[in-house]
A and B are shown apart, each in its own frame.
Chain A
Amino acid sequence: MSTPMTAETIQTTYREAVRAAIREALLRDERVFLMGEDVGRYGGCYAVSKGLYDEFGPERVRDTPLSECGFTGAGIGAALGGLRPIVEIMTVNFSLLALDQIVNNAATIRHMSGGQFSVPVVIRMASGAGKQLAAQHSHSLEAWYAGIPGIKVVAPATLEDARGMLWTALEDPDPVIIFEHVMLYNRAGTLAADAGAVPITGAAVRRDGSDISLITYGGSLFKTLEAAKALADDGIEAEVIDLRSLRPLDDATLMASVARTHRAVVIDEGWRTGSLAAEVSARIMEQAFWDLDAPVGRVCSAEVPIPYPKHLEDAAVPQVPVIVAAAKAALHR
């Protein structure tokens, strides 16, 4: 997204950017509070909220019981009552316990109340593999949420988006789910000192290229950028698109890119069957068929519960060489 024009920058990490975003929200709007398992005294299981409990106190940084359905429901109720809750769910795997609240309440109340009630809740959750946390803590179920009408789903991959998406999500009158890939938290980089809110809709072209569109999001973005670099060494200029918003999808950006490159590979850490990659691929087929010079390729996770051993975990999820190979296959190279 847009990098502010100021020259002043800071060195930071994705984790610190998320924390700065929460802190800013807590400071700017007294209706905002953070709730979740171990977000308070412990500082968050990924240390995102470290220090916030001491700064803002137990009223606004609330530890909850291990009860995803209960506290997500409480968050939805608080949003209905006029507050702006940030609900943190430790990992997307655990969010399945809260699925009833999200699908049957958060996503439906605007519609079922004839527009009388809004649910301005923000639910953050970690997702993805790479930390050897085994099958119950490592999955990428973004696609499941991206299929639910009534909510917005975003996946910040860059520092700018980690820093800027939360505030915009809190401003949104409807539920927004934010997926933070666990392998991104430690990513360090440069961020404008005055970085702030960014739009939560729209995809972003992270790298320009003319030969193929590599479409991805979240934790796979940097692998894909690395793959694009490797492809450039072979004379292939790959365009890399960061979806950013998983619901709604930014069809216009995708199709414009495919119209230029005529080829696409979708990289998605979700399981292949019914994946977000499948949805993106289908839309390209529907909307850009006559632009295609090759079948749309997909690089997804192996259809297994994400394994614990490092080498198997690595083998199960998209990696740079596989992305490179898929791109070359689409180019018949």
Chain B
Amino acid sequence: MSGTVFRMPSLGSDMEAGTLIEWTHRPGERLHKGDTIAVVETQKGAIEVEVFHDAVMGRPLIEPGETVPVGTAMAELEPLEAIAEQGPGAGRAEGPAPAAGSSGAAPGAYERLGGTARGTGPAETSAQGRTPAAPGVRASPAARRLAAERGIALAELTGSGPYGAIVLGDLAAAAKPGARAPAATPAQARPAPRGGLDLAAMRQAIAAAMSRSKREIPHYYLSQDIDLTVATEWLGARNADLPPAKRLLMGVLFIKAVAITLPRFPELNGFDRDGRFEPSEAVHVGSATAIRGGGLIAPAIHDADRLDLATVMNRLRDLVSRVRSGGLRASELSDPTVTVSSLGDRGVDRLYGIIYPPQVAIVGFGTPRLGPWVVEGGIVPRTLVTATLAADHRHSDGHRGALFLAALAQRLQEPDML
């Protein structure tokens, strides 16, 4: 069984490239699905990037400090049997394939690396057999052949050609025939501080995403005033005996209420893929979080519809702290199927959100306020909140949106069911 490569993930529709800050695993180490494999700096700060399946860390194809476009191969991943066959740490360490004849360990892997390991003189190798060098590394054919002949690992070189491709000139300084490649290029002088947010870059990212949203998505907007009195009282009673660290915020009720309402409205939960709607069974609520100094990010609370309120609260706290300190995970950025934006207690009555592509809906909650409400024919002061829905008219209609807001309002009348 052959391995795969790990590629720079897209952590949002506005992401074009990412910078590798560090590898969190060494070649040969076991990776479980969901493990962090690398820390990548994006316009949204330093993100921990996860692997999607069990594997063994293989050879890195890029170095810390390198910025590569989304989709670029970053590292090789070996199948698990690589460990079984060789024992941990064996085999695919950095460096070029060993010289001809070492066909013992993980032959499949070396073959994919280009067959140079077993290659004999160029005269004897067929054109096919000469396909040298690491897949996924951008290198000219001539550079690949020379690297193979000299036993130089392309992944350890920095390309000076177009798109960072390794060209012949880059090999000139590398090892002479027979010699091993030099150690990896010295660490760049820019291991970006983890969590160091580039607010200007984030502003650009927000600008790109929101411009695209307003340009491409035909939004419709609905709003509904909701009586929050019952929920407020319930929340007060529940928090009364709890230490501050365990108290629930009203925003958590909003997230949970949205999450459990959405399965009945699948057209609001999912993604637009090139104009076609791809519904999501899971409900991953992106919780819009403001960043001090400006900027905004909406990382996911995964499967929010299945979590109890206390867990949602914990996740929210964790997210907010990591938004501010850095260390968000890739899946948290790319997974949200819907966004909830809640102004908290220092905002205005209502907000109309802009959908974050490729999502198709955003639910807004204004600041809960005391206001006049008609109860049984009389006007009484009640705690009110205005919920809004901005949704993609390509995939849903106002009628369904209205039913959603009405159902949401009903959910908030039964807080003990949340």
A interface residues, Cβ below 8 angstroms from B: 262, 289-294, 332
Is A292 in contact with B141, judged by CB distance below 8 angstroms? Answer: yes
User: Does B140 sit at the interface, judged by CB under 8 A?
Assistant: yes
Q: Are B167 and A332 in contact (CB under 8 A)?
A: yes
User: B127 an interface residue at 8 Å Cβ cutoff?
Assistant: yes
Residues of A near B167 (CB, < 8 A) are 293-294, 332
In the complex, A332→B142 CA distance in Å? 15
CA distance A289 to B167 in the complex (A): 14
A210 to chain B, nearest CB (A): 12
Q: Which residues of B contact A (CB under 8 A)?
A: 127, 130, 140-145, 160-162, 167-168
Task: Across the interface, name the chain A residue whose C-beta is closest to B140.
Answer: A293
11 residue pairs A–B, Cβ–Cβ below 8 Å: A262-B142, A289-B141, A290-B127, A290-B141, A290-B142, A291-B145, A292-B141, A292-B142, A293-B167, A294-B162, A332-B167
| Residue numbers in B under 8 Å from A291 (CB-CB) | 141-142, 145
Q: Is the CB of B160 within 8 A of A332?
A: yes
Residues of A within 8 A of B145 (CB): 290-291
Whether A292 lies near B140 (C-beta < 8 A) is: yes
- Please indicate which of the listed interface residues B130, B140, B161 has the most CB atoms of chain A within 10 Å of its own CB: B140
State in angstroms the CA–CA spacing of A289 and B139 once bound together: 12
Check A290 against B161 for contact (C-beta < 8 Å). Answer: no
Known: A262-B168, A332-B167. A293 touches B142 (CB 8 A): yes
Residue among A292, A293, A332 with the most chain B CB within 10 A?
Answer: A293
Q: How far is the CB of A297 from chain B (nearest CB, A)?
A: 12
Alpha-carbon distance between A293 and B167 when the two chains are bound, in angstroms: 6
A332 to B168, CA, bound (A): 12
CB proximity of A211 to chain B, nearest CB, Å: 11
Are A290 and B168 in contact, with the CB atoms below 8 A?
Answer: no
Please measure, in the bound complex, the distance between the C-alpha atom of A332 and the C-alpha atom of B145, giving whole angstroms. 20
From B142, B145, B168, residue with most partner A Cβ within 10 Å: B142
Q: Which A residues are in CB contact (< 8 Å) with B160?
A: 332
> Which B residues touch A292, using CB under 8 A?
140-142
| Chain B residues whose C-beta falls within 8 Å of the C-beta of A332 in the assembled complex | 160-162, 167
Give min CB distance, A310 to chain B, whole Å: 35
Q: Which residues of A contact B140 (CB under 8 A)?
A: 262, 292-294
The 5 A-B pairs at the shortest CB distance, nearest first, are namely A293-B142, A293-B140, A290-B145, A293-B168, A290-B141
- Which residue of chain A has the shortest Cβ distance to B132 in the bound complex? A290
**How far, in whole Å, are A290 and B162 apart by their CA atoms in the complex?**
18
Chain B residues, Cβ within 8 Å of A294:
140, 161-162, 167
Check A293/B162 contact, CB under 8 A, given A262-B168, A332-B167. Answer: no
Cα distance, A292 to B130, chains bound together (Å): 14
Report the nearest A residue to B145, measured CB to CB.
A290
Residues of A within 8 A of B143 (CB): 293
Q: Give Cα distance in the complex from A290 to B132, angstroms.
A: 10
